[in-house]
Structure 1
Amino acid sequence: MSKQPTIARIWRGRVRRERADEYEKYNYDVGIAPLIEKALGVQTFREDREHESEFMTISYWEDIPAMARFTGRDPTDIHHLDRDPEFLIELPKSVQIIRLLTSHGKTG
């Protein structure tokens, strides 16, 4: 029986618009690719605005202990990638952890 997600972890960060493409590649290579190997699912989003782009990553987990096994510490703590200070307009201070109540339709 496959594991079902009960928790979603949401991270958001903003970069200057002119560096968005570069950050998107860096974020995938260093942050998202390892996450894909451990989470039950990962979705990434990008919203381009006039002067900035916002990135959002939602990862899905069986439970809080499963997230903790991946992070090696409290999964509610923010983890910055090495080059985040170079790219991000401001370093996020937190992530959002929410319970997944139900899922409808197909998102794959």
Structure 2
Amino acid sequence: MLARTWRGVTKAADAEAYQAYLERTGLTQYRATPGNLGAYCLRRVTGERAEFLLVTLWESMDAVRRFAGESPERAVFYPEDDRYLIDRDLHVTHYEVPFASVAEVGS
């Protein structure tokens, strides 16, 4: 299993709107890609900035390529990203996931 991470920053005032936009674009596309094993959107608002960290899990690099294309180290952007993002990673980071343990919510 592989984890793919990407970071982007919006103005704090745009955090809710950008999160909804992520749900309609990237997170929907992740889930629709064969080989995607999960997607997490982490958000941290500090002062006037909202930082987003997306962590997606994939069964293989081939699955990542089905989502990202032939340059899987490049971040994937959507048409309205420029409207929201004030800072962003242009490249992603891939990690091997040697083990994973997920507790049920509420446990």
Report if TM-score (shorter chain) is over 0.5.
yes
User: Alpha-carbon deviation of 1:70?
Assistant: 2.2
User: Alpha-carbon deviation of 1:88?
Assistant: 0.5
Give the alignment partner of residue 99 of structure 1, picking from 93, 96, 100: 96
Runs of 5+ unmatched residues, structure 2: none
Give the alignment partner of residue 21 of structure 1, picking from 16, 21, 24: 16
Which residue in 1 is equivalent to 2:65? 68
Q: Which amino acid aligns with 1:49?
A: T
**8 A Cα contact 1:42 1:60, kept in partner:** yes
More strand per residue = 2
Judging changes above 3 Å, is the alpha-carbon distance between structure 1 residues 107 and 80 closer, same or farther for their aligned structure 2 residues? Answer: farther
Give the alignment partner of residue 45 of structure 1, picking from 21, 24, 42: 42
Distance in 1 (CA, whole Å) between partners of 2:42 and 2:15 is 12
Secondary structure at the residue paired with 2:25? helix
Query: How does the TM-score come out when normalised to structure 1?
Result: 0.86
**8 A Cα contact 1:14 1:90, kept in partner:** yes
User: Alpha-carbon deviation of 1:24?
Assistant: 0.7
Q: Which amino acid aligns with 1:15?
A: T
> Please, what is the CA RMSD of the aligned residues?
1.5
**8 A Cα contact 1:84 1:91, kept in partner:** no
Query: How does the TM-score come out when normalised to structure 2?
Result: 0.87
